[in-house]
Structure 1
Amino acid sequence: MSAQVLAAESVGEPAVNISIFLLFVVVTLAIVIRASRNNATAADYFAGGRSFTGPQNGVAIAGDYLSAASFLGIAGAIALNGYDGFLYSIGFLVAWLVALLLVAELLRNTGRFTMADVLSFRLRQRPVRMAAASSTMVVSFFYLLAQMAGAGGLVALLLGIDDRGGQSLVIAVVGVLMIVYVLVGGMKGTTWVQIVKAALLIAGAGLMTVWVLAKSSFNLSTLLGDAVERSGNPGLLDPGNQYGLTGTTKLDFISLALALVLGTAGLPHILMRFYTVPTAKEARRSVVWAIWLIGLFYLFTLVLGYGAAALVGPEAIRAAPGRANSAAPLLAFELGGTILLGVIAAVAFATILAVVAGLTITASASFAHDIYANVMKRGEPEPGSEVRVARITAVVIGLVSIVGGILANGQNIAFLVALAFAVAASANLPTILYSLFWKRFNTRGALWSIYGGLGSCLLLIAFSPVVSGKPADPVTGKSLSMITDPSIDFSWFPLDNPGLVSIPLGFFLGWLGSVTSKERPDLEKAAEMEVRALTGAGAEKAVVH
């Protein structure tokens, strides 16, 4: 059965699809409105009043982390590329060990609302906060691109919208809903939506996993054999379908692995979650809960990806609206018809809404708290102005992300998220680790590390095959780059992911800037930060306006 027929049949019950979709939106909006009643202070709006327990925050972290990339992008990558697609799942999961062992507790102890609180603790406040806020907004933007692209492909499949104009309208609707979530609910409302969404997503993926295995008599070997047979690719279970065929793709794999494993510990919307719990112990418990839930979900993606290859087929997936991102919804349709497609698509859409809301509140909080309150107002903002500025910023970010999502529509969202990870690992992680563990680290080192890692990463992405120069897709005739015209090619950097170059450069520039600066490190402040980081003493007063 072709993807076009699948899409046509799914629209056969548009009332069912739209009803399920609207039900999810109404329920999550009700949760946001109810949770927003206590948003009285900046701590309530930015950190949920620090009122969440470790398990609650762990589920919310899983909800934040298990984005459209995890559900739609990875399932599609496995369905089309087999073993190489599963590398995304492995990288995303292993990355949590870095966050658990090096970052979670120490950040919770030394910061208040944002990553910049930690970076500027013993350095010059204004330039470091400007740099950290800039990096936060860029990472958030790249992550938002992925979620918006996923929304376009998902709802296009759900409603049978095959033209880019209709998909662009869908992306705009997602952006508007996202803005409403953030304006009304703040971090508290967003967190409860993420908790509900994580439970629904894991339950939905678990149901589909059991269903797929039942089709193969609960024999994984049978499922894998069916996937190889349906795809017509005898190497679907082996490495090398996407990475490893050439020297360039081998380097691209190393670059991707570096970005995935190191990027999580530098993602600002994940780091901000550590401030929503009352103690460092709860921050550790959050990460442990998140690891278990995320690990379980990524095991599901292996079955879902190969299940899509076996039951739907790569040709139908490539031809569907959203291409690889449509694998999981198409599998749901194959298993349970219109009803299951509607439910799974609605869960995936709730996933996108929750993640984009979390990203937006992180970026807006960074601008309001770091740039407005601490740079523009020099730490003395007017009462209530910080939250007001954050809300205005959320609207601007929402509008910008709508435009970016329209441009990125059709890209594999797991891959787009990997770019966000590369930016986070290049610009944020070196500065965080140096700030926490190296007493000689100074302001110049922080600025060189953030701006150098960020700038090199963006430059290499702009001139990589991601933006232009990839060959035309044999099915659609369009380039697989963001610029779909195959005749436009200004790429000179050969790798899809810049992490192999930009991540070591970020660490090197942080070291070089520090050792060449005449600024003497404040050893007393460094000692105070070390005590706070390791013990949590005085953590609530780490940053005072």
Structure 2
Amino acid sequence: MTFLLAALIVAITLGVTFWASRRNTSAGDFYVAGGKISAPQNGIAIAGDYMSAASFLGITGLIALNGYDGFMYSVGWFIAYLTVLFIVAEPLRNLGKYTLADMLVYRLKDPKVRFYAAFSTITVSTFYMIAQVVGAGSLISLLSKGAISADLAIPLVGVLMIIYVVVGGMLATTWVQIIKAMLLMFATIVMSLLILSKFGFSFSNLLGAVEAKNGAEFLSPGLKYKNPLDLISLCLALVLGTAGLPHILVRFFTVPTAQDARKSVVWAMALIGAFYAMTALMGNAANDLVGKAAIEAANKAGNMAAPMLAEALGGGAGTIGGEFGLAFVTAVAFATILAVVAGLTISASTSFTHDIYNGVLKNGQASEADQFRVARMATVAVGIVAILLGLVAKNQNVAFLVALAFAIAASANLPVILYTLFWRGFNANGAIWGIVGGLVVTLGLIAISPNIMKIDKPDVKTGRHLVQRDAIFPLENPGIVSIPAGFALAAVGAMLGRRREGDERDFEAMQYRAYTGDGVDGTVAAHD
């Protein structure tokens, strides 16, 4: 049943991909679907891109095993979109065309900024992608009860994502994300209704049952994060990192106007908010109906909590309802991984083609046909690299890579975005210092943190840490140090850099266009 449902989803999404391929006639179509996606469609696609397997499987498991501390992931990821809505969405759409680097270069007028912004985009996308393909390997192997090994699952996901992006471009990726978002919302709504029906449609009754089973401390902070700084650092990375994630930001170029970009975020927030609220129901219900011991026995990290809960809600193991629930949730998890990986792939390939190949190597003179061809080649290359890195890292503990991607985005990308938009004295030197400095500080702290350096216990089977010794930097997420460092380095770089003639005029022109949209579609704009 699991294979049948997964195959059906793949067949539907491949059909959509070949439908989209007939509408890909230019580089703009490939990069951002020609900017013709409507606000509701884009909002649902953003939600589909954002609600990854880490959200569906990971957070449900974290709440089931750690209670209140696990739910902080849900809160952080949802609140993050307020930053995107109020600060980033509209100016990014008005100033850019295909990538984050477009916005920075529009203001700073330095091709070196384009190169470093593209490098940061590819770095973030790569870390995020490795986590997804390794997760795909372990989860598909786990959910198929060993029928599909990680060695087969990782290339399978890689090949499918290459087909989606190479054949269908952003239009196909958008529709794959929409389909996945609708399936995920359907699954969580049905599960939530079944959960509430078992507890008299009262969340209080559910929490009461969980408290009776685990004690009051389960519903209080401190069970997972003993050090409050760890929780603060994680929340900073989650809340601020989203506004700098390239695969999320690229979605604002797929809509016709800045108003549609804002509406997209509102649509996305409605779906994401509802979904993350339901993770509280699913996580706590898994704790009560399945039990911590059974969840940990299936997977120490808790990733089987949602499928096991679906099985329990459907009637239990061996029943038709239980088997269907388990199969459907497994298939949705597979679709989730495919959609997120496709979004990351097109973000990385677009940045390489538009920013490095066309913007830096060809000085903006590459033809549409050349860009289209190179974008497809870059997609294949990105896919192959992701598969190879995934296979190399399949036995490592890579859970930190998603948090690392958020930390890099918050430390390297966000400071430069905000300074570009709001600081009159900011310049290209500051942007380069901010991007490179934020990247180096984040990677350095991660390298000496418990994510890399930790003495594993003999019975730990969820992945081995690279360095078997006590960590030098005590926090799992570096955000509380790396984010201020990124802002500080960008500021110091700007103050040390020389002001360019015309900086003042370019800042005024940038602000005018960012908040009016004048000149975006070829309308009158003197500075263009």
| TM-score (normalizing by structure 2) | 0.93
Q: Out of 507, 511, 525, which is 1:526 matched to? A: 507
Deviation at 1:489, TM superposition (A): 2.2
- 1:41 is matched by which residue type in structure 2? S
CA distance in 2, matches of 1:50, 1:404: 32
- Farther off after superposition, 533-542 or 326-335: 533-542
CA distance in 2, matches of 1:479, 1:277: 41
Q: Out of 214, 221, 240, which is 2:222 matched to? A: 240
Q: Out of 297, 316, 333, which is 1:319 matched to? A: 297
CA distance in 1, matches of 2:396, 2:428: 41
Q: Out of 341, 351, 354, which is 1:356 matched to? A: 341
Q: Could you tell me the percent identity over the aligned residues?
A: 52
- 2:266 is matched by which residue type in structure 1? V
Question: Which residue matches 2:166?
Answer: 183
Contact 2:125 2:345 in 1 (8 A): yes
Deviations 1:375-421 (A, max 9, x none): 011111133111222222222222222244342568585x5422211
Question: Which residue matches 1:3?
Answer: none
Alignment of 1:65-84 (within 5 A): 65-84=50-69
- Farther off after superposition, 219-228 or 208-217: 219-228
CA distance in 1, matches of 2:336, 2:98: 24
Question: Which residue matches 1:24?
Answer: 9
Question: Which residue matches 2:478?
Answer: 498
Q: Out of 140, 144, 152, which is 1:169 matched to? A: 152
CA distance in 2, matches of 1:462, 1:295: 33
Q: Out of 466, 479, 483, which is 2:451 matched to? A: 466
Contact 2:454 2:465 in 1 (8 A): no
Q: Secondary structure at the match of 2:453?
A: coil
- Farther off after superposition, 371-380 or 318-327: 318-327
Q: Secondary structure at the match of 2:304?
A: helix
Alignment of 1:425-464 (within 5 A): 425-464=410-449
Contact 1:95 1:265 in 2 (8 A): yes
Q: Secondary structure at the match of 1:529?
A: helix
Question: Which residue matches 2:187?
Answer: 204
Deviation at 1:150, TM superposition (A): 3.0
Deviation at 1:127, TM superposition (A): 1.0
CA distance in 1, matches of 2:210, 2:65: 10
Contact 1:114 1:272 in 2 (8 A): yes
Contact 1:153 1:322 in 2 (8 A): no
| TM-score (normalizing by structure 1) | 0.90
CA distance in 1, matches of 2:398, 2:64: 12
Deviations 1:79-105 (A, max 9, x none): 111000000010011111110000000
Deviation at 1:343, TM superposition (A): 0.9
Deviation at 1:297, TM superposition (A): 0.4
Contact 1:182 1:190 in 2 (8 A): yes
Q: Secondary structure at the match of 2:471?
A: coil
CA distance in 2, matches of 1:257, 1:99: 15
User: 5+ residue gaps in structure 1?
Assistant: 1-15
Distance 1:495 1:131, change over 3 A: same
- 2:280 is matched by which residue type in structure 1? L
Question: Which residue matches 1:508?
Answer: 488
Contact 2:230 2:475 in 1 (8 A): yes
Q: Secondary structure at the match of 1:525?
A: helix
Contact 2:397 2:462 in 1 (8 A): no
Question: Which residue matches 2:319?
Answer: none
Q: Out of 508, 512, 517, which is 1:536 matched to? A: 517
Deviation at 1:478, TM superposition (A): 4.3
Question: Which residue matches 2:318?
Answer: none
CA distance in 2, matches of 1:268, 1:283: 15
Q: Out of 192, 197, 206, which is 1:214 matched to? A: 197
Deviation at 1:216, TM superposition (A): 2.1
CA distance in 2, matches of 1:167, 1:321: 15
- 1:238 is matched by which residue type in structure 2? S
- 2:224 is matched by which residue type in structure 1? Q
CA distance in 1, matches of 2:395, 2:79: 28
Deviations 1:177-203 (A, max 9, x none): 111111111000100111111111111
Q: Secondary structure at the match of 1:390?
A: helix
Deviation at 1:49, TM superposition (A): 1.0
Question: Which residue matches 1:489?
Answer: 469
Question: Which residue matches 1:272?
Answer: 250
Q: RMSD in angstroms over aligned alpha carbons?
A: 2.1
- 1:324 is matched by which residue type in structure 2? G
Contact 1:472 1:480 in 2 (8 A): no
Alignment of 1:294-333 (within 5 A): 294-321=272-299, 323-333=301-311
CA distance in 1, matches of 2:65, 2:517: 47
Question: Which residue matches 1:97?
Answer: 82
Q: Secondary structure at the match of 2:218?
A: coil
Distance 1:79 1:90, change over 3 A: same
Question: Which residue matches 2:140?
Answer: 155
Contact 2:455 2:470 in 1 (8 A): no
- 1:220 is matched by which residue type in structure 2? F
CA distance in 1, matches of 2:59, 2:395: 16
Deviations 1:419-467 (A, max 9, x none): 2111100010000111111121111100000000011111111221112
